[in-house]
Amino acid sequence: MKYFTTILTILGIYLFVYACSDKPCTDDGCPNFDTPEPLEDIRGKLDIEEWIENPAVTSLAQKINLEYGVHKVIERTHRLPDIDTSSKDMFVQSLNGCINYLYQNIEPEYQIPNELIIAQAVIETGWGKSRFANEGNNLFGIRTWNKDVPYLLPIPWTEWPGWGVKVYETRCDSVRDYLRILNEVFAFSEFRAARDSGVVDGLVLADYLSQYASNQNYTELVKKVIKYNIRGEYDI
């Protein structure tokens, strides 16, 4: 009886520790970070005809050198920087390098604070460890509604539900697409208005990203990552 009681005690301690421990990141990122079920198409669905024919949009596209779906706005003749997901430090530093590389050809008025981009990538991928980041090169949970575009489905889905998580040629390509989305999609017009008014602080701009995810605490999560995990930790 004594040994039986001891075994039960050890088992109880094990179960308690397991329940309290951090669960591993899955294909949708870390458990504490909600992968959104958007009420509307806010992550990249932009009418391709408008994208090509609207002079203002086309001008921006040429500056950012973006691809949309299977349509290439301009041909890319160079390789984008690699983003390393082997560790937290490498993830942040190489992602920052990708951003700075892209900004060589993007006018300042279209740029987004590096720390804000990195914070969102951290949340969406669990510091680069998610399946979408490593199998699909997608750092921001960007979706596609075009079944002909390469995509991944969340586990355990096996059938097309009307959308998939877009697959990119490189992880830096997903950064480039993220920049397009925040610069063009209607859902982020208030974000752009705040930036255009002179707001450059990532903590302030994060408040205008509430439509990026269905999680009501999303903007607070972004600000916490910036404040406690990026500022003072990394030179970006």
Position 79 scores a pLDDT of 84
Contacts of 24 (CB under 8 A, 6+ apart): none
d(CA 151, CA 68): 14
CA angle 209, 214, 220 (to 5 degrees): 50
Tokens 């949340």 sit at which residue? 123
d(CA 222, CA 215): 11
Counting as low any pLDDT under 70, the low residues of the chain are: 1-78
**Closest among 89, 116, 100 to 222, alpha carbons compared:** 116
Position 236 scores a pLDDT of 87
**Closest among 43, 27, 36, 33 to 143, alpha carbons compared:** 43
**Complete domains list, the chain, with CATH:** 24-230 (1.10.530.10)
Residue 152 backbone dihedrals phi, psi, to 5 degrees: -120, 155
Q: Amino acid letter at 139?
A: L
pLDDT tens column, 177-233: 999 999 999 999 999 999 999 999 999 999 999 999 989 999 999 999 999 999 999
Task: Please provide the average confidence, as pLDDT, over all residues in the chain.
Answer: 77
Residue 209 backbone dihedrals phi, psi, to 5 degrees: -110, 20
By CB atoms closer than 10 A (0-12, 13-18, 19+), residue 233 is exposed
d(CA 85, CA 171): 10
pTM: 0.70
Position 1 scores a pLDDT of 53
Q: How far, rounded to the nearest angstrom, does the alpha carbon of residue 155 sit from its chain's CA centroid? A: 18
Position 15 scores a pLDDT of 40
